[in-house]
Amino acid sequence: MLIAQLSDAHVRPRGVLYHDVVDSNAALVDAVAHVRGLESRPDLVLVTGDLVDHGQPDEYAHVREILEALPVPYLVIPGNHDDRENFRRAFADHDYLPRGGPLHYCVDDHRVRIIGLDSTVPGHHHGHVDGAGLDWLAATLAQDTAKPTLIMLHHPPFVSGIPYLDEYRYFDGASLAAVVERAPNVEAVLCGHVHRSMVRRWAGTVIVTCPSTATEIDLQLAESAQSSSHDGPRGYLLHLWDEREGMISHLVQMGDFAGPYPFA
């Protein structure tokens, strides 16, 4: 099974730029076109939060229009820039989304089970799942401890070392890890939020973060570092699952580069 992961599109109203400098809308259009152009078509697309920038209905109308060009079904979770209720209304036809409360869900229609976990805290930018959400996750994972499972989670529950990202990370990672580590079949936890590709061993599985289709947040590890981003490189992830080989994740960078050359 081949799964594409897009994240952090930060779509704005039509004609408006992200932070007044980046055309995030056109960038998502490019990302969707890139997915459509893959030689091996994904079976499913996962979109791991911050679909829009201000949580406004007109932003959601535009992101829906762009995502409808995907050639395969897609699943969504909100991020800290999304408004949960506007998000719910915008994707009301996505029957897997619950009608009230946090947007936790499980989709078991594919060879890999997908669990969406809503880590948004309305009015804040950090991530958290409350006790009821952790209980739901534990019960859902316990229903099948054999089928390969992916967890979608916007906020990575670890310290990245980039100071201006860690100020609004998922803070109580230990409580979440205590639930996840009891499930031996979690292939990976797929996150967004950090606008970079990161990999970390965690809770008996692996966390992989997806780059943004809009901007890349700069890698700065000094404690005194100030917030900084660049207009690219943009990218997304492809996750390939095989019943014999398990899951492998590939970083896909979008852009024009010299080649192909006849060597490997």
d(CA 85, CA 88): 5
The tens digit of pLDDT for each residue in 45-89 reads 999 999 999 999 999 999 999 999 999 999 999 999 999 999 999
DSSP 58: H
What's the pLDDT at 111? Answer: 96
Rg (CA), the chain: 18
The tens digit of pLDDT for each residue in 91-116 reads 999 999 999 999 999 999 999 999 99
- Please give the model's pTM, rounded to 2 decimal places: 0.96
Could you tell me the residue ranges of all domains in the chain? Answer: 2-254
The identity of residue 147, as a single letter, is K
d(CA 30, CA 234): 10
pLDDT band at 253 (very low <50, low <70, confident <90, very high): very high
The tens digit of pLDDT for each residue in 170-229 reads 999 999 999 999 999 999 999 999 999 999 999 999 999 999 999 999 999 999 999 999
The identity of residue 112, as a single letter, is V
What's the pLDDT at 255? Answer: 87
What's the pLDDT at 259? Answer: 87
Q: 212 has which bridge partners?
A: none
CA 192, chain centre distance (Å) = 4
Q: Which fold has domain 2-254?
A: Purple Acid Phosphatase; chain A, domain 2 (3.60.21)
